[in-house]
Amino acid sequence: MSLLAVGTVAFDDIETPFGRAEKVVGGAATYITLAASYFTDHLKIVSVIGDDFPQQELDFMASRGIDLDGLQVKEGEKSFFWAGKYHDNLNDRDTLDTQLNVLADFKPVLPDNYKDAEYLMLGNLTPSVQSEVIDQLNNRPKFIALDTMNFWMDTAMESLLQVLKKIDGLIINDEEARQLSGEHSLVKAAEVIHGMGPKHLVIKKGEHGALLFEGGKVFFAPALPLAEVFDPTGAGDTFAGGFMGYIARTGDLSFENMKRAVIYGSAMASFCVEKFGIERMKELNNKAINKRIARFVDLVNFDADIEL
């Protein structure tokens, strides 16, 4: 079933303890759609780039089944650019440079054939832009998920609260959940955030896994313990892409299936960090993904041996 992804398509300069990569392809919508492309062929993207974006990268995205009709190309302008350097622990990073470029005055415009999307993933962007996408749809999608960040809580909280009322699932990290809710306990944070609108909440904890909350229910997905993490860039967006891709493929919104979607998202993220940028995400296949899922099963599986 069709999945529409909205977010940045960009260039990144990345420095980690393992090396540097300059002007590699990145952006939330890039990671989201690439991850989702292993689950569904009906992918559409809404974003904006400058005329500096390599045609071969666009061709590659098209080859993965991603419809680029909603990708605006601004002649004479530059694509969004981010540069960051990771600390030795790979959890913390410093942003060295951010150049909005084409993103500064981005107005999303949905082609007509996008307006009946069944599933919508709103990558991290200005909350008002996320709202504008929802408002252009002909019908309410079956499931709308949204990512955001602390910066919008600091600078655009009112419009963030507005868009939260329109969505089904919020996918954020633990620090963002704490800031948004004002609660340190993630269980209490989930209650507060449910009250803001989203019935489903995924809290990503990086190397510590992810939690799924729905009503009073909770599910925990571990992160795969890895000997080497080369580059965490895009792991969160890749998680979201795997999660929404799996939901779009199955069309099943039960809690049981959401749990699987969190595991598939975690598995895709565990691939993403193994190489720089989107490199690892280009070379996957179903067999590799299923083998990775089996490792998640092994990791947490135990026979409880209790009598109740």
- Residues found near a second copy in the complex (CB under 8 A): 88-90, 184-188, 205, 208-209, 211, 218-222, 225-229, 256, 259-260, 263, 287, 290-291, 293-294, 296-297, 299-300, 302-308
Nearer to a second copy, 158 or 227 (CB): 227
H helices of 148-306, where? 150-155, 157-164, 174-181, 186-196, 235-250, 255-272, 286-300
Nearer to a second copy, 48 or 211 (CB): 211
Nearer to a second copy, 210 or 278 (CB): 210
* Least distance (Å) between residue 169 CB and a second copy: 17
Nearer to a second copy, 84 or 209 (CB): 209
What is the chain's length?
308
Residues 6+ apart with CB under 8 A from 89: none
The DSSP code for 70 is T
* Alpha-carbon torsion angle 197, 169, 24, 10, nearest 10: -40
Q: Rounded distance, CA 177 to CA 173, Å?
A: 6
* Least distance (Å) between residue 305 CB and a second copy: 6
Q: Rounded distance, CA 174 to CA 211, Å?
A: 9
* Least distance (Å) between residue 170 CB and a second copy: 17
* Least distance (Å) between residue 290 CB and a second copy: 5
* Least distance (Å) between residue 191 CB and a second copy: 8
DSSP character string of 180-208: HHS-SSHHHHHHHHHHHS-SEEEEE-GGG
Nearer to a second copy, 88 or 158 (CB): 88
Q: Rounded distance, CA 43 to CA 26, Å?
A: 18
* Least distance (Å) between residue 185 CB and a second copy: 5
Nearer to a second copy, 283 or 304 (CB): 304
Nearer to a second copy, 76 or 225 (CB): 225
The C-alpha angle with vertex 246 and arms to 260 and 151, in degrees rounded to 5, equals: 95
Q: Rounded distance, CA 52 to CA 23, Å?
A: 11
3-state secondary structure of 175: helix
Nearer to a second copy, 157 or 299 (CB): 299
* Least distance (Å) between residue 209 CB and a second copy: 7
Burial 169-201 (b: 16+ CB within 10 A, else e): bbbbbbebbbbbbebeebeebbbebbeebbebb
* Least distance (Å) between residue 179 CB and a second copy: 13
Residues 6+ apart with CB under 8 A from 140: none
